[in-house]
A and B are shown apart, each in its own frame.
Chain A
Amino acid sequence: MQKMPQWADVVLIPLISLILAAVLSGLVILAIGENPITALTIMIDGAMGSKYAWGYTLYYATNFIFTGLAVSVAFHARMFNIGGEGQATLGGLGVALCCLYLPWPHWTLAILGAIVASAAFGAIWALIPAWLQAKRGSHIVITTIMFNFIAAALLNYLLVSVLKPVGSMEPATGKFPEPTHLPNFAEMLAPLGISFSRGAPANVSFIIAILACFAVWALIWKTRLGYEIRAFGHSESAAKYAGISPTKIILISMSISGALAGMMALNNVMGEAERLVLNATEGAGFIGIAVALMGRSHPLGIFLAALLFGALYQGGAILSQDTSIPVQIVLVIQALVIMFTGALDNMVRVPLEKVFLAFNLSSAKPATKPTAAE
């Protein structure tokens, strides 16, 4: 028996959560003596008011789509992959090595190479905790968190001691060669006669992210592997009965998850920075958790949630830039949205279910019949 219609689950709950977060954020802004309505207008305008704004919003959204998909694939197997950050970091390393040390003639080939490299590096970084979980029972949440730190330290070492060009003071690789530069939206849309802001970082990897959404959807709901991943996620004991190997599912689902997180580097490292710097991921791996939660682990939901978080990021940046609202308050607003849409889901869900239940009973009493059992 369905407690709520699907539209309520998918649309109404996130919407109410968002409104609650907005109200609370408004109170915070009021408390520091600013006008919440003005602040909201600036945020929306800053995130969606111009092509330049969209160029940033979509750039952030691309990061969040990859990390959100990564979390969701693991979550379908009931694995909490908290290590998106580290996997994306390693993905960046893969992209950097691929772009710096291989002679690519054109970006179309370079991006194929970078997809393979970033996915492979991310997958390997997820595979180690997965192996420890499957074979040794080490909790995946703990190990993936630890691997975030190891990834950060590893990158730090490599950038400072190995990859830094001779004579440079900055812990970063050199600029990637010209043929590996990905076209941004302005360059992509120019042949179609559409002008787009030249300075905005959104680039062709946004298209790759959308393709990844379709691929994950097909994987989870149309393939035998997806069937087994979901079965294992719902009930490990039933999966064992059916002859589905837990080890295999843990290793494969975590590899796919890590590969998706790693592919985020196509956007931020290859598409935007065009070199590898320290802390290139900027917490996108963690935002992916909130995106996957809000998107109900469904690619369409993740796409929409990523857009929202992208707008929130860009709008927040503009807010702290254009007003006297300090950047810390912007972080508070972002945290409130994450908290309400991600962690406090049940706070909205439970009362709403009661409302629907009461409504159903009063409106559809004769139609509700217990399932016949004879």
Chain B
Amino acid sequence: MTSPASGTAHPAIELRGISKAFGAVQANKDISIRVMPGTIHGIIGENGAGKSTLMSILYGFYKADAGEIFINGSKTLIPDSQAAIAAGIGMVFQHFKLVENFTVLENVVLGAEDSGLLRPSLARARRELKSLAEEYELNVDPDALIEDIGVGMQQRVEILKALYRKADILILDEPTGVLTPAEADQLFRILGRLKEEGKTIILITHKLREIMEITETVSVMRRGEMTATVKTAETSPPELAELMVGRKVLLRVDKKPATPGANVLEVRDLKVTDDKGVRRLKGISFDVRAGEILGIAGVAGNGQSELLEVLGGYEKASGTIRLNGELIDLTGKHSDGQSRRHRGIAHVPEDRQREGLIMDYMAWENAVFGYHHEPEYQKSRLFMDNAAIREDAAAKMGRFDVRPPDPKLSAKNFSGGNQQKIVLAREIERNPDLLLIGQPTRGVDIGAIEFIHQQIVALRDQGKAILLVSVELDEILSLSDRIAVMFDGQIMGERLPSETDAKELGLLMAGMTGEAA
């Protein structure tokens, strides 16, 4: 690695030999990295590779077991986040740390007040924000409430918070996870602008596309180790993927064209209003046919979750849903999850840790979760046949290559990918007519993604109907046979993957219809 134009410059950040263990797990192993000032440096790796741990050490959340940190050439101790801020480091977290019912201005000032009196701080912050906005094209209304502004704007507030605290080094943790493609492009423009002004940026992500698009150098992490640091211009996505996983991976899904049959699911005018009276689904209609995958694209929070919950039987709705031509009870006695499962609807939920699994249950207990009423798992009217369930679980875990294949291990002790395989095995092996699947590969390592995608396609090829919800546009584009885009509780349009691209879908995801674009 060579330094840019200014040959004598110190790296903005240098880490030497950082190690950190949590119990027996070595989260970071002897990691060294140099980031030159005024550059964008990407850190890429699978979930659990140790990226977040490394950044938490840099931001003072964790104390490294060994190693040193140098900021602008001088050795710096960072025992807490105050010290990190003092050293000029700012962090934009994946989950924003904003007070929803405070204004932008109040959030920026929070924790950095000049004195006990608020008014002078706010006045100074207002002036400062104005100049920052001009300098970096970071326009935000300082008096808007956080809850009233969009996710992209909220992220800008996080960046402004860091800049207001005089950060020269910005760390962004998976910043595009909640953004539309257009918002992501805007973010990248802002980051480019910050770089021009001499800021140093570290971008943590698992998306190869983003790395290729805006970074100068990229470091790859795998299982706690830094496996490579390369110039972005001199590498390619397949090479990076291989470095991340440690073997060659198929980035595209291999599938035959679909041969759709009759409608399995018919949804008409589906409406959902939540507890606060907000309308989450505003009358949506669509069909899913046998032997096809309908992909629902959209930015998180535009009604996709509610759609899955209604179909899965744990959210009330109005409208009609037909399965194989027969009406499904949406509000009455048979509107619960058990009834849906009996009708042949299987559901891999979006959040496997909160919904799909009981993390403290062992794998075998999880392998029948939701189907624990089925007669083959009962010994008598009251008692479950635990021995049979264990045997059944071991077989399923073998067929779905769950590692380690130990039915007595608690769900929380499996990696994300293997947890997902347990859920998938449970749902697919019931041989459903319709599979609902939300965020099938969120938090799943690349190696397991391949396997999960193959399973979904195989189920389709058996003539089953699949409703896929994902915020990963790449996943939607490569898996779906038909794509519907959701925005603000409505379906903005349907497209065929062969006749559309990320750009068009991105516009639909932002609520713009074809004519406006």
Contacts and interface: CB of A to CB of B under 8 A. Distances in A.
A238 B354 contact: yes
B500 interface: no
A225 B380 CA distance: 12
A357 B25 CA distance: 11
**Which one of B23, B245, B340, B448 has the highest number of Cβ atoms from chain A below 10 Å of its Cβ?**
B23
Contacts of A227: 365, 372, 384
Contacts of B378: 224
A228 B369 CA distance: 9
**Which one of A227, A370, A374 has the highest number of Cβ atoms from chain B below 10 Å of its Cβ?**
A374
A1 B413 contact: yes
Contacts of A234: 358-361
Contacts of B351: 237
Nearest to A228: B372
A330 to B, nearest CB: 39
B369 A1 contact: no
A104 to B, nearest CB: 30
Contacts, number: 106
B418 interface: yes
Nearest to B315: A240
Interface stretch (B185-193, B320-328, B331-339, B504-512): B331-339
Given A238-B356, A240-B314, A373 B413 contact: no
A136 interface: no
Nearest to A354: B23
A242 interface: yes
Contacts of A360: 23-24
A31 interface: no
B61 interface: no
B404 A373 contact: no
Given A373-B415, A374-B403, A231 B338 contact: no
Contacts of B173: none
A27 B287 CA distance: 76
Nearest to A365: B24
A198 interface: no
B313 A3 contact: no
A240 B349 CA distance: 12
Nearest to B373: A224
Contacts of B313: 243
A223 interface: yes
A196 to B, nearest CB: 37
Interface string A1-42: 101000000000000000000000000000000000000000
Given A242-B369, A243-B340, A373 B359 contact: no
B223 A243 contact: no
A109 interface: no
A232 to B, nearest CB: 9
A328 B447 CA distance: 66
Contacts of B418: 371, 373
A372 interface: yes
Q: Report the contact-size class of chain B (Cβ under 8 Å from the partner).
A: 35 or more
B355 interface: yes
A137 to B, nearest CB: 11
A217 to B, nearest CB: 12
Contacts of A3: 23
Interface residues of A, number: 30
Nearest to B378: A224
A360 B336 CA distance: 46
B357 interface: yes
Given A238-B369, A241-B312, A370 B223 contact: yes
A225 B382 contact: yes
Interface in A233-275: 234-235, 237-238, 240-245
Contacts of A223: 382-384
A235 B358 contact: yes
B370 interface: yes
Contacts of B312: 241
Contacts of A374: 245, 403, 417, 445, 447-448
B314 A371 contact: no
A368 interface: yes
A357 B23 contact: yes
Given A224-B378, A241-B312, A243-B338, A372 B24 contact: no
B359 A243 contact: no
A261 B491 CA distance: 54
Nearest to A3: B23
Nearest to B308: A241
Interface string B336-347: 111111000001
Contact of B355 (A224, A228, A238): A238
B62 interface: no
Interface in B227-286: 245
A361 interface: yes
Nearest to B444: A373
A230 B383 CA distance: 15
A372 B415 CA distance: 8
Interface in A196-245: 218, 222-225, 227-228, 230-231, 234-235, 237-238, 240-245
B420 to A, nearest CB: 11
B403 A371 contact: yes
B424 to A, nearest CB: 15
B48 interface: yes
B414 interface: yes
Contact of B413 (A240, A243, A244, A371): A371
Interface of B: 23-26, 46, 48, 223, 245, 312-314, 336-341, 347, 349, 351, 354-361, 365, 369-370, 372-373, 378, 382-384, 386, 403-404, 413-418, 445, 447-448
